[in-house]
Amino acid sequence: MRNIHPKNNYVAFYDINSKKFIYTRSCVNIKNKKTIKHNNETYYVIETDVSSYSHNFFKNTK
């Protein structure tokens, strides 16, 4: 899951247990207004191409 904070464009990646393992600043286009709540904060849910990320989690996305 990838979430973007609507106020400051920080992007957070979470694993299936909701443990944050990447937190980076990024510019993305929000194509829909779907949101989720996490730790009492509201985040937009976005889709993106993760093949350019160097984290091991994304190695097999190409």
pLDDT score, position 44: 72
- Strand segments, DSSP code E, in the chain are 2-4, 10-14, 20-25, 35-38, 41-45
pLDDT score, position 61: 47
Domains in the chain: how many in total?
A: 1
Please indicate, yes or no, if residue 7 is contained in any of the structural domains.
yes
Full domain range(s) for residue 7: 2-50
Please indicate, yes or no, if residue 55 is contained in any of the structural domains.
no
Q: Convert the pLDDT of each residue in 9-60 to its tens digit.
A: 566 666 556 665 555 555 555 566 677 787 887 777 766 656 566 666 665 5
pLDDT score, position 38: 77
Quick check: pTM over 0.85? no
Tell me the H-state helices in the chain.
none
pLDDT score, position 1: 46
Identify which of 3, 7, 37 has the alpha carbon closest to the alpha carbon of residue 21.
3
